[in-house]
């Protein structure tokens, strides 16, 4: 073989290798790889110390109040037009952007992130670790939500013209019947789980991914346990909502619906797509 042909063959091989690498880098992650990214993230969360989980959860509960505050600001200052509802719900995304992009502990994210390692391990110890994390994060989120609501209610931190909109939003979120709150919580759980599923390949579009899908939660009038806990706390602290009604008519139904929604997306989308591949290994 002449040196010219040999060099041409080598160049062709190099170009083909470079092309294959470019295609591989541009291709979307397979379901198995997405599953593995989320599973490892879940294992890291399960291994975190109790103190770390508590403070991260409290921070998430406080910052999710930006969703309520953002909506209230838009509702207060936008003109009363037919399309105001769609615009004001962009404010709902602010808290989720802060919490998710800040890598804080939000309970509804854990309904898929920490479930994936459990499905692979399938031990009572793993299940206990997951329930421990769920309990710690949920309690910390609620504490943070009450802390933010206390700031709204008991201090002059907010301009007084915003409080009527916050109270209006809070009464709407907590005022629906328990069964309706439960059913509306299921789509919210699915949407949050879907965000978790899509984030590993979102890269620079993560901001718009979170913005779009959390806006959908608000625009669809779905119920979310942590953001809703801020609204619940506002009314409880003002004496407009009794503890019993808050717990049994709002908190528990919405919590149950979010869990079902989150684990549903995990079952149908995450585990269902990768089970055969994982169990072959």
Confidence label for 186 from pLDDT (cuts 50, 70 and 90): very high
Q: What is the pLDDT of residue 22?
A: 46
**With 70 as the cut, is the pLDDT of residue 42 above it?**
yes
Q: What is the pLDDT of residue 26?
A: 42
Contact yes or no for 147/58 (Cβ under 8 A): yes
**Rounded-to-integer distance, Cα 281 and Cα 82, Å:** 55
What is the average per-residue pLDDT within 118-145? 88
What is the average per-residue pLDDT within 58-84? 94
Q: What's the pTM value of the predicted model, to 2 decimals? A: 0.84
For the chain, which domains are there?
30-276 (1.20.1080.10)
What is the average per-residue pLDDT within 128-137? 90
**Rounded-to-integer distance, Cα 51 and Cα 59, Å:** 12
Q: What is the pLDDT of residue 270?
A: 75
**With 50 as the cut, is the pLDDT of residue 84 above it?**
yes
Q: What is the pLDDT of residue 157?
A: 93
Most confident of 43-52, 112-121, 249-258: 249-258
What is residue 247's DSSP assignment? I
What is the average per-residue pLDDT within 17-44? 68
Q: What is the pLDDT of residue 23?
A: 42
- Give Cα separations from 78 to 32, 88, 151 (angstroms): 45, 8, 24
Contact yes or no for 217/190 (Cβ under 8 A): no
Q: What is the pLDDT of residue 278?
A: 66
DSSP of 134-175? HHHHHHHHHHHHHHHHHHHHHSTTS-GGGHHHHHHHHHHHHH
Residue scoring higher pLDDT (143 or 103): 143
Phi, psi of 158 (to 5 degrees): -105, 145
């Amino acid at each position: 073989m002449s040196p010219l042909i040999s060099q041409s063959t080598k160049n062709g091989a190099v170009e083909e290798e470079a092309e294959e690498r470019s295609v591989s880098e541009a291709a979307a992650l397979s379901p198995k790889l997405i599953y593995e990214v989320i599973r490892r993230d879940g294992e890291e969360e399960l291994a975190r110390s109790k103190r770390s989980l508590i403070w991260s959860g409290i921070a998430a509960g406080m910052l999710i109040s930006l969703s309520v505050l953002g909506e209230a600001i838009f509702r207060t200052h936008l003109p009363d037009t037919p399309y105001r509802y769609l615009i004001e719900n962009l404010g709902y995304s602010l808290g989720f952007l802060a919490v998710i992009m800040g890598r804080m502990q939000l309970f509804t994210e854990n309904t898929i992130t920490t479930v994936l390692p459990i499905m692979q391990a399938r031990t009572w110890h793993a299940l206990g670790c997951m329930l421990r994390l769920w309990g710690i994060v949920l309690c910390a989120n609620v504490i943070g939500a009450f802390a933010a609501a206390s700031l709204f209610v008991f201090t002059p931190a907010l301009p007084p013209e915003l409080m009527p909109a916050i109270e209006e939003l809070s009464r709407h979120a907590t005022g629906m019947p328990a069964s309706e709150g439960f059913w509306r919580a299921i789509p919210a759980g699915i949407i949050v789980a879907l965000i978790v599923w899509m984030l590993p390949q979102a890269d620079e579009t993560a901001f718009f991914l979170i913005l779009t899908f959390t806006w959908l939660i608000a625009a669809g009038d779905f119920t979310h346990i942590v953001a809703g806990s801020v609204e619940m706390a506002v009314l409880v602290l003002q004496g407009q909502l009794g503890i019993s009604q808050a717990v049994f008519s709002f908190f528990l139904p919405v919590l149950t619906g979010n869990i079902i929604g989150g684990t549903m997306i995990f079952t149908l989308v995450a585990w269902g797509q990768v089970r055969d591949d994982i169990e072959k290994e």
